[in-house]
Amino acid sequence: MRRRRASRAVCPFPHPNCITTCPVCAYTVIESYSERMIPVPDKLHFTVAGGDNRLRYTAESLRERGFSVSRTKADADENFENTDVLILPVPLSRNGADVFAPQADNPIAVARLAGALPCTARVFCGMPGQNAEPFFRRGIRLYDYAAREEFAVRNALPTAEGVAQILLQSLPVTVRGATVLITGYGRTARACARLLSAMGAHVTVAARRCSALAFADTDGYRSLYLRELPRFMHEMDAVVNTVPATVLTYDVLREMRRDCPVIEIASAPYGTDLDAAEALGVHVQIAPSLPGKAAPKTAGVILADTVLNILREGNE
């Protein structure tokens, strides 16, 4: 008797162009969507330069799929002439001039790197900001993979796990039973709320918009307007900020207990008044790039998938 091969479950929700809206099968949808897309030419040579362990695993993931890949430290004396696709870190630069390359002895300047690439190269990086200009001047196509929806959605979970790791190390109490405030309720905040709630924490969500608070309330969390925070801060055992604008002001921070840590995962200029926190003795841990630290292999595969998705879309 022939054994029937198990078929993949089909999600009942429609998935037109946005592949990450499904609350049931986000990962399956992303995978099947990628499989249906036009394949990336296998003769392309990828160079993965700079960054942390995330990019190391990005290079490994591309090699496993049969691509030619070079992994470099992004030193100033390296050669990029034979590069078809260049993958750079997120953020592209932390000092506004050089590629973020903590393992390089002499990190290459962004402007010099742009001049060393062939004009036909395609460059992928995260949050380039003003550093995109040298590439545009030479007509080099540059893509911000951090702006992609699938990249943000899939990185929310490793970010949440990174937050949980920090809380386990910094809280004077167990996560189970702790009252944790999460400011904002976007993709990452939702992932943090789900994970911490599953660990037994009592989650409170503070946001500005009524719609965000409605989602938080529907998901089963206590919800507050940001303007109400000073009245409730004395109850909190920990705070996780995801808002990239100052919401934890002096008036909010002074109502906190001094053993209540603040984990800052928003991008600069952050959501915490750092000067006020220092003056009040509030401990703030700035935790950028958590996916690359908490789960670098997962984050590297996500980055490789995102780059290949963009390349496939460009070949349609």
The CATH class for the domain spanning 26-147 reads alpha beta
Is-same-fold flag (26-147; 155-292)? yes
Does residue 38 have a pLDDT over 60? no
108 pLDDT band, cuts 50/70/90, is very high
Summary mean pLDDT of the chain: 88
Percentage helix, strand, coil for the chain under 3-state DSSP, each rounded to 5:
40, 15, 40
Checking if the pLDDT of 164 tops 60, the result is yes
Strands 122-125 and 45-49: unpaired
Specify the amino acid at residue 187: R
What confidence category does residue 125 fall into, taking pLDDT thresholds of 50, 70 and 90? very high
122 near 85, Cβ under 8 Å? yes
Mean pLDDT, residues 200-221: 97
Domain boundaries, the chain: 26-147, 155-292
CB 234 within 8 A of CB 223: no
Residue 99 clears pLDDT 60, i.e. is over it: yes
Q: What's the Cα-to-Cα distance from 256 to each of 229, 236, 280, rounded to whole Å? A: 10, 7, 9
More confident residue, 186 or 13: 186
Higher pLDDT, 120 or 12: 120
Q: What is the pLDDT of residue 42?
A: 64
Report yes or no on whether pTM surpasses 0.75.
Answer: yes
Decide: 126 and 89 in contact? Cβ < 8 Å.
yes
Which overall architecture, per CATH, does domain 155-292 show? 3-Layer(aba) Sandwich (3.40)
Burial of 42 (0-12, 13-18, 19+ CB in 10 A): exposed
Confidence at 75, pLDDT banded by 50, 70, 90? confident
Q: What is the largest CA-CA distance in the chain?
A: 76
Rounded distance, CA 234 to CA 253, Å?
10
| Segment 28-42 mean pLDDT | 51
The pLDDT of residue 65 is: 93
Q: Which residue has the higher pLDDT, 52 or 178?
A: 178
Res. 248: pLDDT tops 60: yes
